[in-house]
Amino acid sequence: MKILSVVLLVISGLCLGSNAYIYNYDQIDLIWDPAVGDSIDTGYWVEQTLISLGDNVDSGTDLPADLSSYDAVFMMMGMYTC
């Protein structure tokens, strides 16, 4: 377990300052977040976390044809609601 923690720490350190794209497929699907005091979409906290880590983040509802300029792509496909 200790080795896994060290590996994850090294990997996260290498990803700092990277370019990420958040593909937010369903921005209509919102959920109330009392911490924010407003309704948020599925990519909100992913985007906030990446920005706080110093990453450059682009997001949108269309997946770009060329993703080569991004180090990571997060695909937010919505939330399960009853």
pLDDT tens figures, 19-71: 889 888 776 778 888 988 998 888 888 889 888 888 899 988 888 999 999 98
Query: Is residue 59 in a domain?
Result: yes
Query: Is residue 60 in a domain?
Result: yes
Annotate the chain with DSSP letters as a single string: -HHHHHHHHHHHHHTTT-EEEEEES-TT--EEETTTTEEE-TTHHHHHHHHHTT-EEEEESS--S--TT-SEEEEE------
Query: Is residue 11 in a domain?
Result: no
Q: How many domains does the chain have?
A: 1
CA distance 11 to 27: 30
Query: Is residue 8 in a domain?
Result: no
Full domain range(s) for residue 49: 17-76
pTM passes above 0.75: no
Query: Is residue 42 in a domain?
Result: yes
Reported confidence tier of residue 10, pLDDT bands at 50, 70, 90: low
CA distance 36 to 67: 30
